[in-house]
Amino acid sequence: MEVMRRAEGAARLGRWVLGERRIPTPCVMSWVFPGAPGGEVHVAPAWVRTSRRPLVVHHGVLRSTSLRGGGELGLLPQASARLSTFRGVVERWAEGVLALGEAHPESGVMLDGWHFPELWRRVAERFRSRCMLGIAHAGELCTKPRLLVTAVTGVRELASTGTVLYLPGVPPHFMPLLALMGVDVFDDAYAAGAALSGIYLSPAGEHHLRSLGELPCRCPECRSAGDGSRMSLRALLRHNIGVVRSMLAEVRAAMRQRRLCELAEAQANLSVEAKAALRVLYRERQDFLQRYHPVA
């Protein structure tokens, strides 16, 4: 990760180096599945064979395989447990990921165990200089504003400057806020899940597809469908992923123009949880924001 410019808070415009490619960040990785549009970076399980490059190889849940050739980035497995997991299980996860991480020094690491700071901090400190650190169960963390802010700011503080911070499965309206806290990479998993549930994403929020008459977006998929009743799953998937990509483009533009806080505040109004997380960040973590971007 090459940091090109600091913006508000811990936000940073950069270039993610994958082989010979330099991908502008913050960016979004696309999961490899039918109907997904092309992107700069793709992520797939280790068993998937695809010609799409560059590729992040996700080794699955509680297992690992050898990295394949071609300069791909490996991402070690995360635990399958939820935030309510008992401490004993999280302790075993920490022991396992420490051993697995030492065995695969070239791979990124997914962090877990957010209710037990001493455990995830131990892992984050050990692997603070890895190519990538990921925050597991990020989508679930978005429903717990204080825990989300604690996790993201804590990992960003521990991680080295060259480490990419990755949050999977988060709603697009959280992305400006998370970029403000120093997140570099997102994915389109939330967009895919929304499509499977018949949810239509837009910059103004989420809608049940079948309840829409005229579609508000003018992307090719929406123009072809005309209204929600005629939109296919593949078209909805491509539209939703387009919304995520547009949001990240808007985030990068806002960072260049020093209006990321303004964008984060506007998007946070779309959900109670996002608004609460922004309030926690401003009220309780001003020290974090000032450390990266002092304001007189």
User: What pLDDT does 85 receive?
Assistant: 77
SS3 category, 189: helix
Q: Please check whether residue 296 lies inside any domain of the structure.
A: no
Domain with 39, as residue range(s), is 2-290
Q: What's the pLDDT band for 67 if we cut at 50, 70, 90?
A: very low
pLDDT beyond 70 at 18: yes
Among 200, 198, 193, 197, which residue's Cα sits nearest to residue 215? 200
Please determine, for residue 68, whether its predicted confidence score (pLDDT) is greater than 60.
no
By the 8 A CB rule, do 213 and 228 touch?
yes
> Do residues 281 and 154 touch, judged by C-beta distance below 8 A?
no
Does some domain include residue 71?
yes
φ and ψ at residue 208, rounded to 5 degrees: -75, 125
Torsion of CA 289, 290, 292, 296, to 10 degrees: 130
pLDDT tens digits along 189-230? 999 999 999 999 998 899 999 888 889 898 999 999 878 788
Q: How far apart are CA 263 and CA 230, in angstroms?
A: 33
Give the predicted TM-score (pTM) of the model.
Answer: 0.91
Number of separate domains in the chain? 1
The answer to whether position 46 is within a domain reads yes
- Please indicate, yes or no, if residue 41 is contained in any of the structural domains: yes
Whole-number percent of the chain with pLDDT over 90: 60
Spatial separation of the C-alpha atoms in residues 245 and 30, rounded to whole Å: 10
Average pLDDT over residues 262-271: 96
Please check whether residue 295 lies inside any domain of the structure.
Answer: no
With 50 as the cut, is the pLDDT of residue 82 above it?
Answer: yes
Tokens of 88: 């004993």
Residue range 103-119, pLDDT digits in tens: 888 899 999 989 999 99
Instruction: Report in angstroms the alpha-carbon separations of 144 from 41, 175, 244, 276.
Output: 29, 15, 22, 9
Q: What is the predicted pLDDT for the residue at 80?
A: 61
Q: 96 lies in a domain? A: yes
pLDDT at 159: 96
What pLDDT score does 296 carry?
43
Confidence band of 131 (pLDDT split at 50, 70, 90): very high
Q: What is the mean pLDDT of the segment spanning 169-180?
A: 97
Confidence of residue 81 (pLDDT cuts 50, 70, 90): low
Q: What is the CATH number of the domain that holds 198?
A: 3.20.20.105
Residue 115 amino acid letter: H
